[in-house]
Amino acid sequence: MKTIESRGLRYGLSITVALVAFFFIMKAFGLIHNYGLRAFNGIIMFVGVYLAIYRYKQQKQEQFEFLQGLGVGLITTLVVALSFSAFVTFFMMANPDFTAAVKANEPHGIYINEWGVALGIFIEAAASGFIFSFMTMQQLKTNILPEIKKNKKHLAIDGKH
């Protein structure tokens, strides 16, 4: 049986691989400075977080709890945020021409450095992943409302309130 941590690590690293692949595809086609395409990073992140939580729910079945599912999403998110921001930092350090191009294309480019970009990516990934985790759990949480209604019917039939 997979633990919350192992599932979060596995899916987090898988999402990071997908984000890195998309990064290199954008670079290969010369689209690396088209920031509108970064929205696709959010789609990759959402799909990965959703799958991590969904598969965990399938594994746990009846024992699936809201906080456990949320924990899977949050661990997955933190793994992605740390690993992808580390990748971008090392990429920028290894490619000074890329860093110079980013600085030239940004309105506040003179203030940009590798560490600032890494921090920005970490915050963006963590915030979006936390939101995606919560959204996913709202969709996948065990619905207890029918059980409550069923119990109320039994209580009303028995004459107890």
Tokens at residue 107, please?
């309105």
Residue that the structure tokens 């898988």 belong to: 14
Name the average pLDDT for the chain. Answer: 84
How far from the centroid of its chain's Cα atoms is residue 5's Cα?
14
Tokens at residue 106, please?
């940004």
Mean pLDDT of 93-117: 79
Mean pLDDT of 61-88: 91
Give the DSSP H/E element, type plus range, for residue 75.
helix 66-94
Share of residues in the chain with pLDDT > 70 (%): 86
0.75 surpassed by pTM: yes
Number of alpha carbons in the 13 Å side-chain half-sphere of residue 65: 5
Helix-helix angle 4-28:66-94, to 10 degrees? 40
Judge whether 122 and 85 are in contact, CB under 8 Å: yes
The model's confidence at residue 142, banded by pLDDT at 50, 70 and 90, is low
- Is residue 146's pLDDT more than 70? no
The model's confidence at residue 148, banded by pLDDT at 50, 70 and 90, is low
Single-letter amino acid code for the residue at 126: A
